[in-house]
């Protein structure tokens, strides 16, 4: 079905829903690379006018990728909760935006609504919203998940401690873990991106994480971010797996490029839960996403990258994840060119995921060849903190020496906590207080890292 809108004396025609969505999207390099971006600001505004008048129910009858050709589309349609959708079923996309920004949209009403919101609905309304709208609405959305810590409660912010090493050296990894714990990081997860895909190496890293968590009774979870098939094999071999990780995308073909299917993700979920290693909950899945992944795999079907990113959240939602992380600037300037595009994408991703009921975090990051710098990341960190992001990254010095990109440091989370009064996960903060790393307010004590952690460093370092 074609869609039309008039700007001045010119009428703009959009051939179908995916074309309308693409042309309405704020400018980003990935859509321009794919040849689907608006050709002018006038065309972009015409698309937004047409999109604003589109009934939300259209997304239940017209798919951006055909139902018959894509299992993600089938998941979206088949899992849609019509009862949850009913309160907004009569609205247009523009009317939905007005509702979300109003006082009628409360934390409680948005939680009830989330199962009825498809990713295309979330993406569509985000295209009509200013940054302040994305922040305001996301701040009203809460998704609380539990494994050994409780993530996402009001007034809290968690951190993934990311101790990567270019050779998977245990001493180097352990040094970063001790450093991060000393700054109060690690309540989301201590998560290692391994340099090797060797099962032996990954198993050794899992035992390293389990050893330090067990030895010091740290209420957190470890994860080695390897392929889900490797994790399943290691679970079968008795490895101490807490969270099951996988990168996912918003189309069947893009997920196939990652070597995953929806059925395989279900196997990972079942395998992770079978170990019963959680103490306060059984959310065991950890997913990472990023705008541009489907385009880089030539699996985008002509759909804009932000809509495809939201579709990845529909995949994540099906497996009750503990963490969902948009690695927003990692793929590079071919997809998000500069700081402005990265900031906008981070706010969009967080908004769409939270609106759909997900525990959203963000790797606030950029590659060294992007037109971005740490000031841009400070801006996005501040905006996401105000928007209620569940977790961020803690990387030594903000410079990941294995993945070669720039993220947020152990110090950065101290800034946003001080600015907004954000606490850590309650179980983890109580542990930090017992070890005298933080005081009763959650602030770091002046003495530095506690003696038990210094002893652990001595055990693992030359």
Q: Which residues are annotated as a binding site for adenosylcob(III)alamin?
A: 194, 246, 296, 402
Q: How many CB atoms lie within 10 A of CB 411?
A: 12
Token representation of residue 279: 């103490």
Dist. CA 390–CA 402, nearest whole Å: 25
**Is 212:177 a contact under the CB 8 Å cutoff?**
yes
- Look at the block and give the residue holding tokens 């939680």: 111
Return binding residues.
Answer: 160-162, 193-194, 246, 288, 296, 363, 402
Dist. CA 166–CA 150, nearest whole Å: 31
Return binding residues for substrate.
Answer: 160-162, 193, 288, 363
- The three state secondary structure string of 88-137 is HCCCEHHHHHHHHCCCCCCHHHHHHHHHHCCHHHHHHHHCCCCHHHHHHH
Q: CA-CA-CA-CA torsion for 271, 274, 275, 280, nearest 10 degrees?
A: 110
- The three state secondary structure string of the chain is CCEEEEECCEEEEECCHHHHHHHHCCCCHHHHHHCCCCCCHHHHHHHHHHHHCCECCHHHHCCCCCHHHCHHHHHHHHCCCHHHHHHHCCCEHHHHHHHHCCCCCCHHHHHHHHHHCCHHHHHHHHCCCCHHHHHHHHHHCCCCEECCCEECCCCECEEEECCCCCCCCHHHHHHHHHHHHHCCCCCCEEEECCCCCCHHHHHHHHHHHHHHHHHCCCCCCEEECCCHHHHHHHHHCCCCCCCEEEECCCCHHHHHHCCCCHHHHHHHHHHHHHCCCCCCCCCCEEEEECCCHHHHCCCCCCCCHHHHHHHHHHHHHCCCCCEEEEECCCCCCCCCCEHHHHHHHHHHHHHHHHHCCCCEEEECCECCCCECCHHHHHHHHHHHHHHCCCEEEEEHHHEECCCCEECCEHHHHHHHHHHHCCECCHHHHHHHHHCCCECCCCCECCCCCCHHHHHHHHHHCC
């Amino acid at each position: 079905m074609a869609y039309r809108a008039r700007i001045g004396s010119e009428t703009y025609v959009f051939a179908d829903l995916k074309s309308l969505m693409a042309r309405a999207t704020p400018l980003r390099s990935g859509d321009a690379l794919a040849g689907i971006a608006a050709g002018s600001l006038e065309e972009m505004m015409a698309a937004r006018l047409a999109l604003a008048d589109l009934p939300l129910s259209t997304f239940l009858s017209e798919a951006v990728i055909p139902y018959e050709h894509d299992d993600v589309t089938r998941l979206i349609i088949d899992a849609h909760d019509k009862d949850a959708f009913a309160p907004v079923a009569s609205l247009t996309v523009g009317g939905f935006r007005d509702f979300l920004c109003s006082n009628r949209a409360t934390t409680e009403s948005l939680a009830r609504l989330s199962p009825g919101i498809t990713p295309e609905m979330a993406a569509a309304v985000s295209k009509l919203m200013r940054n302040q709208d994305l922040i305001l609405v996301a701040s009203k959305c809460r998704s609380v998940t539990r494994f050994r810590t409780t993530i996402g409660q009001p007034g809290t912010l968690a951190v993934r401690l990311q101790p990567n090493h270019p050779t998977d050296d245990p001493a180097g990894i352990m040094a970063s873990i001790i450093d991060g714990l000393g700054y109060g990081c690690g309540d989301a997860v201590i998560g290692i991106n391994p340099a090797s895909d060797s099962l032996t190496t990954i198993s050794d890293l899992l035992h390293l994480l389990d050893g330090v968590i067990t030895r010091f009774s740290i209420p957190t979870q470890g994860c080695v971010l390897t392929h889900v098939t490797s994790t399943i094999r290691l679970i079968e071999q008795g490895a101490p797996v807490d969270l099951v990780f996988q990168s996912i995308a918003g189309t069947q073909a893009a997920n196939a490029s990652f070597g995953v299917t929806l059925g395989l993700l279900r196997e990972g979920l079942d395998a992770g839960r079978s170990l019963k290693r959680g103490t306060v909950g059984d959310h065991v899945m950890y997913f990472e996403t990023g705008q541009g992944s489907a385009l880089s795999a030539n699996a985008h079907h002509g759909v804009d990258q932000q809509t495809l990113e939201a579709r990845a959240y529909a995949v994540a939602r099906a497996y009750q994840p503990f963490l969902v992380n948009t690695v927003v600037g990692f793929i590079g300037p071919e997809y998000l060119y500069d700081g402005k595009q990265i900031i906008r994408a981070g706010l969009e991703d967080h908004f769409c995921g939270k609106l759909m009921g997900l525990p959203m975090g963000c790797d606030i990051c950029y590659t060294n060849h992007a037109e971005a710098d740490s000031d841009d990341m400070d801006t996005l960190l501040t905006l996401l903190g105000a928007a209620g992001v569940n977790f961020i990254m803690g990387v030594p010095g903000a410079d990941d020496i294995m993945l070669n990109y720039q993220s947020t440091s152990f110090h950065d989370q101290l800034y946003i906590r001080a600015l907004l009064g954000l606490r850590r996960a309650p179980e983890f903060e109580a542990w930090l207080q017992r070890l005298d790393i933080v005081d009763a307010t959650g602030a770091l004590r002046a003495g530095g890292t506690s003696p038990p952690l210094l002893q652990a460093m001595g055990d693992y370092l030359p």
